[in-house]
Structure 1
Amino acid sequence: MNTEPTPYPIGTPGTPWGDAERAEWLSRQTRQRSYESEVVSVIERLRSRFDVEEYGHLDYGSDGYPLMAIRSRDWRDDLPVVLITGGVHGYETSGVHGGLQFLDQHAEAYAGRVNLLVAPCVSPWAYERIHRWNANAVDPNRSFREDSPAEESAAIMRLVAPLRDRALLHIDLHETTDTDESEFRPALAARDGKPFEPGGIPDGFYLVADTENPQPEFQQAIIKAVEPITHIAPADDSGEIFGSPVVARGVIQYPLNELGLCASVTSAPYKTTTEVYPDSSRSTPEQCNAAQAAAVCAAIDYALAHR
């Protein structure tokens, strides 16, 4: 029985993509939803309660996208800063809408206690195409470093730079989906000329802590808050989640700075990346959004109590 995975339809196995392969990949990407109507319109409705700013602009051919951020209206220099990012991978829907739900339903409870800075959709081109990469086949969430190859990442770094050392907390809202295994990991292997090694998708919510500063009690406070809303991913038979050792229930670790991940953009003592699983038969889109919002609330509550 042949169990070899089907070669990715673009490129030659073992050979990294060049310009022709990237152009072919781009030609296959189609707009499937609207950033303007689904995200920007929601942000505009929040303008009466928060300060809204355009912190950059993406231009991909004839497609242009304003990069939008929302700040606390009662911003005070003596308050700690909380950074919330979503949609670094545009296809991870609840990262975008969970962040917006937090703003709409919960953010005003923190008025006068923290300064909130929220970038709910870091990658709007990819949001519209339900994709992980930007239009140049670059993953923004491996590009948060000097001379970033992704304008999405560079724009966030410019936005955050004045606040980098004042941040108390950064929570970056993500999802792990079945398409990670069916499309995005095979595409990555093909792009880089490497063999695709099939894996498994974790069934449930989990967190990615910083290897250099894991803050285990902080991570568990978030797991506890999310569990009533959606189930927590168990470790697999190897004691791992998505190829990384489970260090505590529902928690793995990555070296954030080394990998150029979004959660590395501040020196905040409290950092985490959420991973919601939207493809479970046990989860609805509403639960996924609510889980993201609950994670943000729990993270802020813990950080304020232990600052």
Structure 2
Amino acid sequence: MQSYDVYFAQRQHARNPNNQLKEATFGMNLEMNMLKKRFEKNIILNDISLALDPGVYGLLGANGSGKTTLMRIICGVIQADEGSIYYDGKNTKEEPDSFRSILGFLPQDFRYYPEFTGLKFMLYIAALKGLDKNQAIKKCDELLQLVGLEDVKNKKVKKYSGGMKQRLGIAQAMINDPEVLILDEPTVGLDPKERVRFRNLISSFSKEKIVILSTHIVSDVEYIADEILILHNGRIENRGPSTELVKEIEGHVWECSLQPSLVDEVLANYTISNQKHESEKMVLRIISKEKPLEHATMTQPTLEDLYLYYLKEEPGK
């Protein structure tokens, strides 16, 4: 393998012969216009239109709803069948290199070189992004410290735990200080403490970036997302602050306690967002437009209730 000095020099010259870091030619507005994507006969995305300004956007949807497909289209990994994406009024397909220079991406299937140390992997990504060596070393050290990997930066990635690998993935996505940051299931493998660290990190720079993150852990976006985007049946079904969105299902969330022997019947007929033991009974949290049981009492909805409300209506669910 060639040395990092040679690799950095080659990559930097190829991207910028004058050895000057190219300034981003884009601004801070991301617009998707009538995006469509099909796989065989299945419509995965259907007329997705969004305009996003700096902030954190939590993308929620069931498995197979198209979240990963949408993120991969934004990042240019795959192409939409129809529609276009603009950043500061410029078509990203016409200027892909300029858009990639201000883009950070953590895919769901984050790949790494197992024989690389954490630091060498970060330096490699920095070279791909066009950072000069001195700038890269400083930035890599800062990010590895930020995600709690400073003490293991010289350890081979193959020896990292699942949570450590995921933190490395988050760090590499931010190596070029991106204006647009796309994170697909970023908290998978993180323990509760690490998830709090991640949420605080995202919150700290949310005013300066457009951050889109998808997750099945609703609490990860409930507290940090400026807006929630509900992807349902291939469309953005709803969007807005979580406090506003949950109003959609006010009057549709109920709690009741009943004998354990009756739980299976209720589970078969209603969407249950939570259940717990209390004394000798089971307390169920039920999502239903109609009062599910005579002794059920109405309660305030949460974002997780809303997520399950849409999930129950997904095809095949």
TM-score by length of 2: 0.30
TM-score by length of 1: 0.30
Computing the radius of gyration over CA atoms, which structure comes out larger, 1 or 2? 2
